[in-house]
Amino acid sequence: MANFPRPGSRPTPRPAASPGEFVAPAGPVRLRGTAGDRRVEERRIPAANPVAAARPAERDAAAPVPVPAGSRSGPARDEIKICGLAAVRARFARDPGSIQRLFFDYATGRQVGVMSKVLAQAKKIYRCVEPAELEKIAGSLHHGGIVAVVAAAPLRVPTAENLQAWARRGETLLVLDRIGNAHNLGAVARTAAFFGVPRLVIPDDAAAARPNDAAHRVAEGGFEHLEVWRVPGLAAFARELVTAGYEVVGAATRGGKLGAATGGPRGEAAPSAMPKPLALVLGNEEQGLAPDVAAACTRLVTIPGSGKVESLNVSVAAAVLMWELIARRR
């Protein structure tokens, strides 16, 4: 177990580093290759945009090249901050090499000895810091005593071959139509991981939340068990899913039915029918499903309620529908 000094306590002589061991320097953490005592999470603001300042020919050459289908897109951000011990442990178990820097308070430091040892061997920064500094690094009060700064994962665009392979394996998809709140995205991802849904699809839309710091914080490690994909348009994607053999079920606030499309008892397929793999589509928090997306679904479902309120929060509705339509089919 790692033994980290309590922040603010009397300094003690530092032991000499053993061969191959990295010992974090005392004092403020500095970015590699920079001078001064800027903290690790501060960033230099560029004086000007070099692309905008370039001559027309140079600007055209510097313009981003469209990403072909099936390839990885460049991330909107280079790094993401994952907060909370459960989420950080899940990331470390899945991809320890993606953790670039690790910060924790004194109490949590007693539980991350193995992580610290791995980071030391990779000559990466790990540091026990004061609560105020940890809050600054996390950008939130709700850091859970630990923050891992990780390389952001690019989002892939699925091809027709991907859809056909998923359908052959009978793998469920969760499709989000412009879920705008990152907290809702994180809650949905946590529920999807709980029910074993392997894949989540979001649109290339400015209104759609991405898996950012807040989403990861709420997901409690759920994103580590999900593949997140992106598509240019959900209506066309829903039609491609139908072609690939999926039953595409859209969640509607009214007008749908919660039951099997094959005519069997509620929540069950008819004995003679081979159930198709299911893609569940959830709509925007305020507007619901876009009309063209709803039209592309093979059927719509509505959760029956008392009528005293119009609908459930999208993350709650996701949990109800994943249980009813996915978990009960197993």
What CATH number should be reported for the domain holding residue 279?
Answer: 3.40.1280.10
Assigned domain for 61 exists: no
Same domain, 147 and 168: no
Do the beta carbons of residue 242 and residue 295 sit within 8 Å? no
Assigned domain for 32 exists: no
The pair of three-digit structure tokens given for residue 186, joined into one six-digit string: 């994180």
Do the beta carbons of residue 177 and residue 231 sit within 8 Å? no
> 88, 117, 151: which is the final residue of a domain?
151
DSSP output for 237-288? HHHHHHHHT-EEEEE-SSS---S-TTSSSTTS--TTS-PPPEEEEE-BTTTB
Tell me what pLDDT residue 1 has.
Answer: 52
For residue 94, give its domain range: 79-151
> 151, 171, 191: which is the final residue of a domain?
151
Tell me what pLDDT residue 121 has.
Answer: 96
Tell me what pLDDT residue 73 has.
Answer: 36
Q: Where are the alpha helices (DSSP H) in 111-247?
A: 113-121, 131-138, 160-168, 182-194, 213-219, 234-244
Tell me what pLDDT residue 192 has.
Answer: 97
Assigned domain for 6 exists: no
Assigned domain for 66 exists: no
Tell me what pLDDT residue 154 has.
Answer: 87
Helix (H) / strand (E) containing 61: helix 56-62
The pair of three-digit structure tokens given for residue 291, joined into one six-digit string: 């009309």
**CATH code where residue 141 lies:** 3.30.1330.30
Helix (H) / strand (E) containing 99: strand 99-104
The parts of the chain modelled with pLDDT lower than 70 are: 1-77, 259-274, 330
Assigned domain for 74 exists: no
Assigned domain for 60 exists: no
Same domain, 191 and 119: no
Tell me what pLDDT residue 52 has.
Answer: 45
Task: Provide the sign of the torsion angle of the four alpha carbons 229, 291, 197, 77, taken in this order.
Answer: positive
Q: How many helices (H) and strands (E) does the chain have?
A: 12, 10
Assigned domain for 271 exists: yes
Same domain, 202 and 248: yes
pLDDT in tens, 125-176: 999 999 999 999 999 898 999 999 998 888 999 999 999 999 999 999 999 9
Same domain, 185 and 144: no
Tell me what pLDDT residue 267 has.
Answer: 42
Q: Compute CA distances 106 → 90, 120, 306, 318, whole Å.
A: 21, 18, 49, 37
pLDDT, mean over the chain: 80
Assigned domain for 9 exists: no
Same domain, 143 and 180: no
